[in-house]
Amino acid sequence: MSTKTPGRSKGLNGWLLSTPALVLLVLAASGPLIIVAIYSVLEKGDYSGVRWILSGDGWFGVLFQRDIFDQTVSLADANLTIFWRSVKLSIMTTLITFAFGLPTAWFIATRPPKARAFWLFLITIPFWTNLLIRTFAIMEVIRNQGILNTALIHFGLISEPIQILYTDTAVLIGMTYVYLPLMVLPLYAAIDRFDFKLIEAGYDLYATRWQVLRGVILPIIKPGIIAGSILVFIPSLGAYVTPRVLGGGKNMMIGNFIELQFGQGQNWPLGAALSTVLLLIVLVSLVVYTKASTREGPHG
C-alpha cells in the first residue's frame, strides 16, 4: 500500500516541474555571483586574471592602500570618495525622482480612465530607446553649446555658458531623467487604488492640505513610495553608462570603478571585492524594503 499523501505528491510534482527554472537560476544568476565571490579572495595575477592562491588583498584594497615605497597602510581616499559619491548621487536621484514622480503619478491617476492609457504611454516612451542614446540626448541639452545654455544666453540670463557637463550635477540630471519612469509607475499603481473619499473626510475634519498629504495620502501610498525608491536607488548605485558619458573619467561611480579594475587596472580580486560590496548594499536595501512592506500588512 502506498503511504504517499495527495498533498505530498502535489508538492513533489511542483518541485519537479520547477527544476528547469531552478537549474537556470543557479547557473545563470547564482553561478556568476559565486565566481565573483571566489575571485575576491584570490591573489592578483601578474598581468590579468587571478592566481589560485587564497589572499585577502582584494578586500583589503576596498578600504585601504599600501605605500609603494615604505608599505605603510592608509585609508584609500579615492575609493571612499567614489563610494560616497555613488551613495550620495543615488540618494539624491531617488529624492528628486520622487519629487517629480509623485505629482506626475497623481496627475495621471486623476485623469479619466480613457486618458490614463495615453499618459502612461508617454511615460513609457523613453524605454523604447537605448540607454546610451538617451544619455547622449541629455548631453546635447546640458553641454556648453547645448540647448539649455543657448536658450539662457539668448534670453540674456547668462553671458557665458555654464559648465554642467562632466560634473556631478550632470550625472544627477542624467540619472534623474533615465530613472524617473521607474518612480512614476509604482506611485501610479499605488495612487490608482487610493480611495479619494478619504481626502474629503480629512477636509471635513478641518485638516489642512499639508495634514491630508502627510496623514492620509502618504501613509496609504507608502508601498508605492518604497517600491519606486528601491527601483531607482539600486540601478542608480550601480550605474555605468550615465556616469561614464556625462561625468567623464574624473566623476566615477562604483560601476565605473569596478570596470576600471577588470579593465585597465587588471586587478580582478579588487574588482570582484567591489562587486561583492555593491551586491551586499543592494541586498541590505532589499531587506529594508521587504521589512517595510511586511509592516504594511496584507493590503500593502
- 148 and 24 in a common domain: no
CA gyration radius for the chain?
25
**Confidence at 298, pLDDT banded by 50, 70, 90:** very low
- 25 and 98 in a common domain: no
Residue 4 lies in a domain: yes
Residue 61 lies in a domain: no
CATH classification at residue 207: 1.10.3720.10
DSSP H helices in the chain: 6-25, 31-39, 57-63, 77-109, 113-124, 131-142, 147-154, 168-192, 197-204, 209-212, 218-220, 222-237, 241-247, 254-262, 268-295
**Confidence at 1, pLDDT banded by 50, 70, 90:** very low
How close are the terminal C-alpha atoms of the chain, in Å? 47
Residue 42 lies in a domain: no
In sequence order, which residues have a C-beta less than 8 Å from that of residue 246 and are 6 or more positions away?
A: 135, 138, 139, 142, 165, 166, 170, 171, 173, 174
Q: What pLDDT is recorded for position 170?
A: 94
Q: What pLDDT is recorded for position 300?
A: 45
Residue 190 has pLDDT above 70, yes or no: yes
Number of domains into which the chain is organized: 2
- 21 and 129 in a common domain: no
Task: Write down the residue that cell numbers 492609457 correspond to.
Answer: 117
Could you tell me the three cell numbers for 62?
Answer: 576596498
Could you tell me the three cell numbers for 282?
Answer: 543592494
Residue 48 lies in a domain: no
Q: What pLDDT is recorded for position 7?
A: 58
- 113 and 262 in a common domain: yes
Spatial distance between the Cα atoms of 158 and 163, rounded to a whole number of angstroms:
12
Q: What is the mean pLDDT of the chain?
A: 88
* Of 298 and 234, the one with more pLDDT: 234
Spatial distance between the Cα atoms of 4 and 88, rounded to a whole number of angstroms:
56
- 10 and 121 in a common domain: no
Could you tell me the three cell numbers for 257?
Answer: 570603478
pLDDT tens, 9-62?
A: 666 777 788 888 888 877 887 888 889 999 999 999 888 789 999 999 999 999
- 134 and 16 in a common domain: no
- 147 and 27 in a common domain: no
Residue 296 has pLDDT above 60, yes or no: no
Q: What pLDDT is recorded for position 290?
A: 74
Region 264-282 average pLDDT: 91
Residue 145: DSSP 8-state: T
Residue 205 lies in a domain: yes
Q: What pLDDT is recorded for position 274?
A: 94
Residue 58 lies in a domain: no
- 260 and 165 in a common domain: yes
Residue 297 has pLDDT above 80, yes or no: no
- 201 and 272 in a common domain: yes
- 134 and 26 in a common domain: no
- 123 and 18 in a common domain: no
Burial category of 114 from C-beta neighbours within 10 Å (exposed 0-12, middle 13-18, buried 19 and up): exposed
pLDDT tens, 130-157?
A: 899 999 999 999 999 999 999 999 899 8
Spatial distance between the Cα atoms of 95 and 89, rounded to a whole number of angstroms:
10
Domain range enclosing 191:
77-295
- 30 and 173 in a common domain: no
